[in-house]
Structure 1
C-alpha cells in the first residue's frame, strides 16, 4: 500500500522536525506543561508513523481488505490525537484538548481492527 508508506514517511519526517523544533526553539518559549504535551504529540506521531509503514509493507503481502481500514483509521487518529495536542501545547487552543481522546480511541481501534482482520484469516 503505497499510500500508507508515503504518509507514514511524511508523518515520521514531520515528527522528527517537530521534535527538533520543540527541543531547540520551543523549550525557551513554552511552559514545562506545554512542552510535555508537545513531546507526547511528537512521540505518538512517530510511533504511529511506524505503524503506517508496517501497514504499508504488509499491504504487499496481505490483501488490501485487511490493511485499508486500519491504515485509514491510523491516519485519522494521528491527525486528531497529535494535531489537537500540538494546538493545545502552543497555547490559545485549549478547547481542542476535548477531541484528543477521540484521536486516541481511533488509534487504539486501528490496531484492534487490524488484529481482528488478521484473526479472520485463520
Structure 2
C-alpha cells in the first residue's frame, strides 16, 4: 500500500536513476520524477494529492530549484523540500528561503534516507 508521495526534481539523468534505485528500496512510497522546476510546479498546482517530500536540485533548465521552491511554498508553506546541490553556497540560501533541509552532493545514502524520514515525520 502506498502511503507517501515523493517528488524528485533533477535534470541529471544519472542522479534520477540513482534516486529511483534508492527510493525504490525505502518502502511504501510513490515517486515521481521531473527534470526542471517548471514541470514540478505545474504538477504541484494541478494535483490535489500533495507530496510528503520534494527533493529539489538547484541548477536546472527552464526554472531553477530556488524559483520552483518559492512558487511551491507560495501555494503551501508547509511543504517539505529537501534542497540538494553540489553548490554548498546554496545551503544558507535554500534554508533561508524555506527549505526543510539541505543535502550536499555527493551524499551518503543514509543521509538521504534520514532526511526523508525526518521530513515525513515533521
TM-score (structure 2 length as normaliser): 0.29
Bigger radius of gyration: 1
Ranked by relative contact order (alpha carbons within 8 Å, sequence separation 6 or more), the top structure is 1
Structure 1 or 2: larger strand share? 2
